[in-house]
Amino acid sequence: MDNPMPPIRTTDGRGRLYESIVDTIGNTPCIRVNNLAPKHATIYVKAEFFNPAASVKDRLAIGIIEAAERSGTLKPGQTVVEATSGNTGIGLAMVCAQKGYPLVVTMADSFSVERRKMMRMLGAKVVLTPRAAKGFGMYQKAVEIAEANGWFLARQFETEANADIHEATTAREILGDFRGQRIDYFVTGYGTGGTVTGVGRVLRRERPETKIILSEPANAQLVGSGRAQGRDEKGAPADSHPAFEPHPIQGWTPDFIPLVLQEAIDRNFYDEVIPIAGAEGMKWARMLAQKEGIFTGVSGGSTFAVAMQVAERAPEGSVILAMLPDTGERYLSTPLFEGITEDMTEEEITLSRSTPGFQMS
């Protein structure tokens, strides 16, 4: 039987006018994976690249800034400082640009150049730190700069505003989208830990049947190691975690266990930790792009790789939701795009030569 022809698509707007760019943060869609998921299970992905600065960290950025505005710790026009692998910095740069706060970001020079350029395009200053000093080094540099100048330090790894914004937005969106439907597994990685902690609070309370799967890089299993993180009196990392090794999943797993994530560890907000190799994450990011038209970064590919593992062993009819933290566009200069050439491939050259006109010389 022939497939029925799809109707002509129409749109009717979002039903409101927005006062500013920050009002468009959140309400990202959960999208079914149709071609890659196994037949016995259903996989959805929560596409955080629908946020205005194209990552889940837009939520964190607005959460931190508006919590600080409410408490009075951030004064009008005061400079904001933060250490970031990129996405938090991009989100903060967007929010600070809209609200009128100067922003200074510290970032190890190992992260993709696209991220630096995007933050500078949005008006932020980017101070690079040596990659040998890892995430702890860029974190300490941010602390130094903030203290030396009397500026506001965002403290994404410790602030309560981090998990709070995910409890108030991400988790509520998931419950709304899956109202009246089963959701057997929720799969996420961690950078600061805000997503798993904030969503975990709500799922444990309102959907206790949902199993929460946490993932981290196979060669940097900080949580999986079972070894405690050294901390100072404010909960900030006192040193680099001994289980850390450099890994290619940008945005995941700094070289310390953030205080925000510690809540999820202490309160058992996940049922299992599944490690994933960076190369496997890149493979599945490419598969999502080429087989589903879903364009995500290395962290999204890695989360989806774990979701596929969960799906393969899940009972018949299981429903799985995986977080996709950002877009693949911020990885153009990274190994994710190895083999994706600027020039024509041999097959493309052959196609060009198959007709006489408009051939490249």
The candidate with the shortest Cα–Cα distance to 249, out of 346, 358, 144, 331, is 331
Residue 75: both structure tokens together: 């004064």
- Strand order in 30-33's β-sheet? 30-33, 41-47, 318-324, 185-188, 211-217, 272-276
Query: Which phi and psi angles does 237 have, rounded to 5°?
Result: -65, 135
Are the C-beta atoms of residues 162 and 192 closer than 8 Å to each other? yes
Query: Which phi and psi angles does 270 have, rounded to 5°?
Result: -140, 150
99 is catalytic: no
| DSSP element (H, E) containing 187 | strand 185-188
Cα–Cα–Cα angle for 177, 183, 188, nearest 5°? 90
Residue 236: both structure tokens together: 């900030």
Are the C-beta atoms of residues 324 and 303 closer than 8 Å to each other? yes
Residue with tokens 């040193």: 239
From the list 57, 134, 141, 211, the catalytic residue is: 57
Cα separation, 200 vs 196, whole angstroms: 5
Please give the span between the terminal C-alpha atoms of the chain, in angstroms, as a whole number. 47
Are the C-beta atoms of residues 113 and 134 closer than 8 Å to each other? no
CA distances from 153 to 137, 146, 197, 334 (A): 15, 6, 21, 29
The candidate with the shortest Cα–Cα distance to 184, out of 2, 313, 279, 74, is 313
Residue 119: both structure tokens together: 């933050």
57 is catalytic: yes
Cα separation, 66 vs 99, whole angstroms: 10
Helix then strand then coil, % of the chain, to nearest 5: 40, 15, 40
From the list 55, 112, 215, 299, the catalytic residue is: 299
Residues with a catalytic annotation lie at 57, 299
